[in-house]
Structure 1
Amino acid sequence: MQPTVENQKIPVSIEKDERLIIGHMKQFFSNKLALAGTILVAFFVLLAIFAPFIAPYGLNEQIMANRLQPPSGEHWFGTDDFGRDIFSRVVYGARISLWVGFLSVLGSMIVGTLLGVIAGYFGKWIDIIISRIFDIMLAFPSILLAIAVVAILRPSLENALLAIAIINIPTFGRLVRSKVLSVKEEEYVLAARSVGMKHSRILLLHIFPNSLSPIIVQATLAIGTAIIEAAALGFLGLGAKAPAPEWGKMLADARSFLVQAPWTLIFPGIAIMLTVLGFNLMGDGLRDTLDPKMKDTR
């Protein structure tokens, strides 16, 4: 008895896959901007991991006699209005910002991808309902929608993370849906359907793997956006609460000292800018590597 297509194993050349991966890596790291972005992201990730060993002072160590001291050899980024070392707080703040960025994007990516795959593959009324939900969510400015979600749930860092995840779901959903609509018309998918392969296997073996590249690129770019959104919510008092060293909260606390002690505002702002820049440069590099057509249209 001849094995069906569903039960056959498609031979895969491991050597060919390795060459493809190595080729992508060489192309990615040959892009100087992408390399610079990767270095920035790696720097802040290492900063977050080794914060207790890098920070010269405790997270909330207060020395009121040293309040609002300018940058010096003792306090590299100066001190705030409570005499806390700003460099130490910026270093610890990397943990909060990256944690919010990674987890919120992971949540929105999982939910958005699932909904996008279902809408694009099955179509009909399922697609109409999911697409209209996405349209309604995208009709609101993202930060206003996030504020509404946090206001309903109660201001906190965890609820800010949840709000950021929710507002980014339509971005992933629409991206994946458009990719699935294209992939499902490919000959190998039509052949799998014609021999009776189950929908679940088609989605797992054919649709999802061939829709992965834009998801990776969008996730990288979305982390930078999530960090900005978390900082915005923290600045508005809807995110992390004192004394957490969240960068947006640090900016909000420093507003009163913009003229008297501008360093309290400058260094957290630079940390946000460099982190977001790193993820954006890395995302652009991944886009050029994984989807060369995008390079031609830019």
Structure 2
Amino acid sequence: MPELSTNATHTTPVEEPLISPWKEGWKNFKKNKAAVFGLGLVFFFILIAIFANVLAPYDYTETGDKHLPPSATHWFGTDDLGRDILSRVIFGARISLAVGFLSVIGSAIVGSFLGIIAGYYGRIVDGIISRIFDILLAFPSILLAIAIVAMLGPSLFNALIAIAIINIPTFGRLVRSRVLTVKEEEYIIAAKAIGMGDGRILLHHVFPNSMAPIIVQGSLAIASAIIEAAALGFLGLGAQPPTPEWGKMLADSKDFILQAPWTVIFPGLAIMLTVLGFNLMGDGLRDALDPRMKN
């Protein structure tokens, strides 16, 4: 009896390598041209802030001829005290970015901590913290910032504190909603089942899985913080003379907008481009890191 031969070939499935969510997010981010442009603007102003001492052609307090128009000597012209506007805009980048980053870092830390506690423990703790957030959100943000600075006294540091406080509820509510979802996941239930303490669960599981929305909101909040700092500076409640803060520069130049428009144009452009960069980058991060935005 002839032997039966089978030529059937068996194909073994090839497992695709796992890609880190952060690597996948960066890959998606690079596809967004507007987001990459925004990231470039942000890095541009960060470099200007870091190397302000090297890039500024003059000391930002040095005075000379008043209201000189833009020229080869003074690229952005001079203000009403004869100070070089380019130098003040360059040093102003350091002030505005510092206020933006530090205030958002502070509000993100406090808001995330309160949001994690409220979302994870719920009940009475959640009710108390959520009511605090509701009270802070009941006030218009800029009016609340003005009230805080008015109580503490006008200064750049107090403006930073005020901006941090008014942004705490935004981070808190965002993280709370994320934690409410994460704590119902199977790996959290399994961690509780094996006796893992709440501290370890929050630190090793809940917080890392809540990072993506914090990063997205942080990038957008920096843009808002820069505008709020400029608004407080414009009202005389932020940076005090001779600090070259962009909002304060606009306030000092508002009476000369027709006589010397360059004194308003260049600080205004600096604010606009910086905020535009953070907004474009934040939108790109949201599209890249938010699973709901993926096809």
TM range (shorter): over 0.9
CA distance in 2 between counterparts of 1:242 and 1:101 reads: 19
What TM-score does the superposition give when structure 2 sets the normalisation length? 0.92
Corresponding residue number in structure 1 for 2:109: 110
Structure 1 residue 205: Cα displacement: 1.4
Matched, 1:55 2:50: no
Paired amino acid for 1:50: F
Secondary structure in 2 aligned to 1:254? helix
**1:176-255 superposed matches below 5 A:** 176-255=175-254
CA distance in 1 between counterparts of 2:179 and 2:17 reads: 25
Structure 1 residue 85: Cα displacement: 0.7
**1:45-124 superposed matches below 5 A:** 45-63=46-64, 66-124=65-123
Structure 1 residue 26: Cα displacement: 2.3
Corresponding residue number in structure 2 for 1:11: none
Structure 1 residue 207: Cα displacement: 0.7
Corresponding residue number in structure 2 for 1:9: none
Structure 1 residue 57: Cα displacement: 1.1
Matched, 1:33 2:31: no
Matched, 1:125 2:127: no
CA distance in 2 between counterparts of 1:277 and 1:233 reads: 20
Paired amino acid for 1:99: A
Structure 1 residue 292: Cα displacement: 3.3
Q: Which deviations, in whole Å up to 9, do the C-alpha atoms of 1:197-239 show, x marking residues without a partner?
A: 1111111111111111000000011000000000000000000
Structure-2 change in CA distance of 1:16 and 1:236 (3 Å)? farther
CA distance in 1 between counterparts of 2:290 and 2:283 reads: 10
Identical aligned pairs, as a percentage?
69
Structure 1 residue 24: Cα displacement: 2.5
Secondary structure in 2 aligned to 1:78? coil
CA distance in 2 between counterparts of 1:52 and 1:169 reads: 33
Matched, 1:163 2:150: no
RMSD of aligned Cα (Å): 1.4
Deviates more, 1:226-235 or 1:186-195: 186-195
Give the count of matched residue pairs: 280
Structure-2 change in CA distance of 1:295 and 1:89 (3 Å)? farther
Structure 1 residue 241: Cα displacement: 0.3
CA distance in 1 between counterparts of 2:22 and 2:196 reads: 29
Structure 1 residue 243: Cα displacement: 0.6
What TM-score does the superposition give when structure 1 sets the normalisation length? 0.91
Bigger radius of gyration among the two: 2
Structure 1 residue 23: Cα displacement: 3.1
Structure-2 change in CA distance of 1:101 and 1:127 (3 Å)? same
CA distance in 2 between counterparts of 1:86 and 1:17 reads: 52
Structure-2 change in CA distance of 1:294 and 1:140 (3 Å)? farther
Deviates more, 1:283-292 or 1:162-171: 283-292
Q: Which deviations, in whole Å up to 9, do the C-alpha atoms of 1:145-165 show, x marking residues without a partner?
A: 000110111110000000000
Q: Which deviations, in whole Å up to 9, do the C-alpha atoms of 1:79-132 show, x marking residues without a partner?
A: 101111101100000000000000000000000000000000000000000000
Deviates more, 1:138-147 or 1:71-80: 71-80
Paired amino acid for 1:268: P
Structure 1 residue 171: Cα displacement: 0.3
**1:10-21 superposed matches below 5 A:** 20-21=21-22
Secondary structure in 1 aligned to 2:243? coil
Structure 1 residue 21: Cα displacement: 3.9
CA distance in 2 between counterparts of 1:217 and 1:17 reads: 24
Q: Which deviations, in whole Å up to 9, do the C-alpha atoms of 1:224-277 show, x marking residues without a partner?
A: 000000000000000000111000000000011011011101110000000011
Secondary structure in 1 aligned to 2:143? helix
CA distance in 2 between counterparts of 1:113 and 1:25 reads: 23
Structure 1 residue 16: Cα displacement: 5.9
